[in-house]
Structure 1
Amino acid sequence: MKLKLTLLAVLFVQITFAQKNCNELYSKKFTKQQLEQDIDFIKAKITNAHVNPYTEISKSEFEKKYTDIRNSLKDGMTQKDFYYLAKPLIVTLNDEHSSMSDFCVTDSIRKSMKVLPLKFKYENDKMLLTENYSDSKLTIGDEVISLNNIPIHEVLETCAQTIPGAMEERIPIAVDRFWIMINKYCYFITDDYNLKFKSGLQTVVKSISLEQLKANASKSQPKKKEDFKPLDYKKIKDYAYLTVNIFDDRNTFTLEEWKTKLDSIFSQIKKDNAKNLVIDVHNNSGGNSAVGNLLINYFSDKTYYTYQGKFKKSKEYADYLKANNKESAEYSKIKDGDYYPIRSRSVTANENPLRFHGKTYIIVGKNTFSSAMMFSVMVLDNKLAEVVGEAPERGHPNHFGELISFQTPNTKLDFLFGVKEWIRPAGNILPNKLIPIKVIDLNNKTREEIVEEL
């Protein structure tokens, strides 16, 4: 699959993380005391507010990692120096929503930055070439064996140590972002890449500028690009096909606006006299789970059970709730450090004259994430509809969520993580994956082709 320009744009944003006065901050040197203040700040926020920071490493291991970092701090370090030392505290949270902002680079460095002009995917423990924007003649699908005479599994394990998120997803993410990771986050190779492939080919691929990569990628893109639509409805044969690409209730629609739009769509579905309903969330990145709960009421009249979990009480999150007029009296009563239980609720369907009563399919895919995954898992665990498609590449049904963000007082690095732990209605079942009951290959398929599969 070709590197989409929209994806490339997102990656450029990540590279040039928008921090104020970045040019000045890049060369600023900090005192040891300032750096100690910042690492103490990061540790305090994690231990106070994260719902469970010791799932990957023990509390004693976490304390040792923190102590080792603190002992490594010296006068005259830059934000970049501190970034590489401090980030492991975020990485080892094993929290797929956690992150730390990129370190600053100057405009001149950004313009002169060079990258590897290749894209890869991780499949069956192999790193496979998927896109080539270099001048080298390479075979798409060939497996990478080594880089600069270093076994590729060793390279990937090293790069994965810089990636926050769930432990088992770090190597696949390292492969997906390899084009920028290998020069900026690990190994710092900025010139030539000596690659050996399983086919026997060994060749040197030269790095190119970001601008050249963008230009090379644009040449291979289809000219017509569909605009992003939060939701879209189309009747296909006797199927009502509803695509929902996001559950956002902040920047897209409010909950009330979501209800109005769903009312309109399901009114049309009723007029169309559709016999089957498809709700496609295979590219849905999530948002607010309340949108998914609202959607359920349009196709199911069954009583169902919600997610369960726990919610850590902290002054940090209490202050956040207060600042956003979301205070909870029950939460406020809990002692800092204790947990507020999130009990699974039995939800009885409300009356809904627009409810669809025919066969319903939920389409999940590699990009179904966060609250879209929670929606699909609730449907699956409660047998509200037939969940089909592909298992998501990222994320887990049981996960951390409800994010809180902070910024270090001196080095100005933003970081965030979850204060809630969510457990699916079916409980702690293994594997911790959303597995559809019927697998459908969704790669480059149109809605019409998906309907044919159904």
Structure 2
Amino acid sequence: MHKWYLLSLMLFSLSKAYSLSGTQLDNWREDIHYLQEQVKTHHLNAFHSQPESDFDNQVNAILAHLPKLSEAEVESQLMKLMASIKDGHSNYYPMSGPHQHFPFQFLYIDEALRIVGATPKYEALIGSEVVAIDGVTIPQVFEQLQPYLYGVDNRYSAQDRFAFQVTLAKVLFAVGITKSPSSATFTFNVSGKPQSQAVDVVEMSKFASIQTALPKQQEWAKENDIGMPGIQMRYFDATKTAYFDFDTYPTFDEVIDSCTSLIKQLTKRQTQHLIIDLRDNGGGSFYTGLAFSSCLSHLDTVNWQRGVVVLINGGTFSAAMSNAAQYHQILNATLIGSPTGGDPNHYGELLMFTLPRSERRFSVSERYYAFVETPTDALYPAITVTPSWQDILNNTDVVLNKAFDYLSVKPKH
């Protein structure tokens, strides 16, 4: 393993033009030793997936080749080092330092990288598929980038993270996908025809302004603010169903303070069904999520036998995955959608650290949670529904539709 790691480092040393100066070398040596020490000191069980000696060998290889590496290459190697812990909450964050992006918002679906948002210069490409970057096909890009992706518990979160992290210009350059840190030639499939175009990177401020051009299937959920920021509700009177778009986490107190009002409203409407949508919820405090379920449990009108559904997908991570598992148990909820990006038995509750010299950020996990008895890599739905690209273009939420279909079927006696 050590031999191959050394080889990969040699291949990543793309140009002496980007090599570190003497002071930078000293600073990064100090930072790397600091990271190594904090991982060993603070992670609950850093070497659950690899021997400590393998981790140390990776550190030593980075230090040995430091004079030949650019700063971006150092950062990419720290991403890979932390990813080797196999814990989606223990990460090196390349965006904690200077970074630029390719000017697209992507969706990775049906094993294709689709453009769903872009800066004005490239808006005509929205909806098209990226098939290659500097001649490297997207399957190859994914394979080459996967060992460096941060925030990954399993293959589903890897696919989810890829769609964003493939925009990070310095990372693509450092791992040898692109030939320049500031531009690349993208090849697109536009209406069935290949089209290549040079694309320049943009600063984070411009990248952050990109909005998805896709229709928002749950936009109507904003019709009812329940006083819990991050959770919006729409009520369907015909089926006595309350749908909750649980996008981000409110505070614990916000849930407690708004609970009585919500229960009064739902009781007055004789609510029978609950749909809790945790798709693309990247997490927060699962104790807040438990407070929300505790609030809902006061509803005596709900069909607690088969009247509760939780929607999940590859973007359901950390606390959101934990709450999905808990709702299945304590609310008797049926899980519908696709496997979660979070592992139900995982290390979490991250501690954030700042490297003393470069001031880059990294995190390690200090807790372990086991939500299922039999080890697995994801929380799998009882009913699997995976949207296609065409479903998204048609603004058809096949997962939510399946939830309504499920709730409409009367159980057999």
Tell me the TM-score normalised to structure 1 length. Answer: 0.65
- Residue from 272, 275, 289 that aligns with 2:272: 275
The one-character-per-residue Cα deviations of 1:145-200 (angstroms, maximum 9, x if unpaired) are: x5444454333222223222336343553344323347555434444425386998
Match of 1:180 among 149, 158, 168: 168
Q: Does 1:88 align with 2:53?
A: no
**Paired residues of 2:231 and 2:248 also in contact (CA < 8 A):** no
Cα deviation digits, residues 311-370 of structure 1 (max 9, x gap)? xxxxxxxxxxxxxxxxxxxxxxxxxxxxxxxxxxxxxxxxx5x55542432322323322
Verify: 1:239 aligned to 2:240, yes or no.
yes
In the other structure, the counterpart of 2:411 is: none
Residue identity opposite 1:241 in structure 2: A
Q: In 2 relative to 1, CA 140–394 (structure 1 residues): closer, same or farther, beyond 3 Å?
A: same
Percent identity reads 16
Which of 50, 53, 61 in structure 2 is aligned with 1:60?
A: 53
What's 1:435 paired with?
380
Alignment partner of 1:395: what SS? coil
Are 2:149 and 2:165, in contact at CA under 8 Å, matched by a contact in 1?
Answer: no
Kindly state the Cα deviation for residue 411 of structure 1 after the two structures are TM-superposed: 1.5
Pairwise CA distance, 1:50: 1.2
**Greater helix fraction, Structure 1 or Structure 2:** 2
Partner residue in 1 for 2:147: 161
Q: How does 1:17-416 map to 2 (within 5 A)?
A: 30=23, 32-74=25-67, 80=72, 82-102=74-94, 115=102, 117=104, 119-123=106-110, 126-131=111-116, 133=118, 140=127, 144=131, 146-164=132-150, 165-166=152-153, 168=155, 169-170=157-158, 173-181=161-169, 183=172, 186=175, 187-189=177-179, 190-193=182-185, 195=187, 201-210=193-202, 220=213, 229-236=229-236, 237-243=238-244, 245=246, 248=249, 252-253=250-251, 255-300=252-297, 352=298, 354-359=299-304, 360-366=307-313, 367-380=315-328, 382=329, 384-392=331-339, 394-416=341-363
- Call closer, same or farther: CA 1:376–1:208 in 2, change over 3 Å: same
2:348 aligns to what SS in structure 1? Answer: strand
2 CA distance for matches of 1:452 and 1:40?
A: 54
SS of 1:60's partner is helix
| Structure 2: gaps (5+ residues) | 1-19, 408-413
Q: One-letter code of the match for 2:264? A: S
Give the direction of change, closer, same or farther, for the CA distance of 1:401–1:89 in structure 2 (3 Å limit).
same
User: How many Å apart are 1:372 and its aligned residue?
Assistant: 1.9
Whole-Å separation in 1 of the counterparts to 2:142 and 2:32: 27
Asked whether the equivalents of residues 286 and 319 of structure 2 are also in contact (C-alpha less than 8 Å), the reply is yes
Name the Cα RMSD after superposition.
4.2
Distance, in Å, in 2 between the alignment partners of 1:219 and 1:404 is 32
**Partner deviation per Cα, 1:19-46 (whole Å, 9 max, x = no partner):** xxxxxxxx98635443332211101111
Aligned to 1:20: none
Secondary structure at 1:65 match in 2: helix
Distance 1:387 1:28, change over 3 A: farther
Letter in 1 for 2:303: G
- Letter aligned with residue 291 of structure 1: T
Aligned residue pairs, count: 361
> Structure 1: which 5+ runs fail to align?
1-26, 301-351
Q: Secondary structure at the match of 1:30?
A: helix
CA contact (8 A) 2:187 2:196 kept: yes
1:80 Cα deviation (Å)?
4.5
Query: Following the alignment from structure 1 to structure 2, what is the Cα–Cα distance between the partners of residues 436 and 51?
Result: 29
Give the 3 Å change call, closer, same or farther, for CA 179–393 of structure 1 in structure 2.
farther
Residues 247 and 371 of structure 1 are in contact (CA less than 8 Å); yes or no, is this contact kept in structure 2? no
Displacement after TM superposition at 1:279 (Å): 2.8
Q: Which amino acid aligns with 2:142?
A: L
Q: Which amino acid aligns with 2:55?
A: F
TM-score normalized by structure 2? 0.71
Mapped to 2, the partners of 1:104 and 1:50 lie a distance apart of 21
Which residue identity does 2:148 align to in structure 1?
Answer: T
1:436 Cα deviation from its structure 2 partner: 2.0
Q: Aligned pair in 2 of structure 1 residues 60, 261: CA closer, same or farther (>3 Å)?
A: same
SS in 1 for 2:167: helix
Structure 1 residue 406: deviation in Å? 0.9
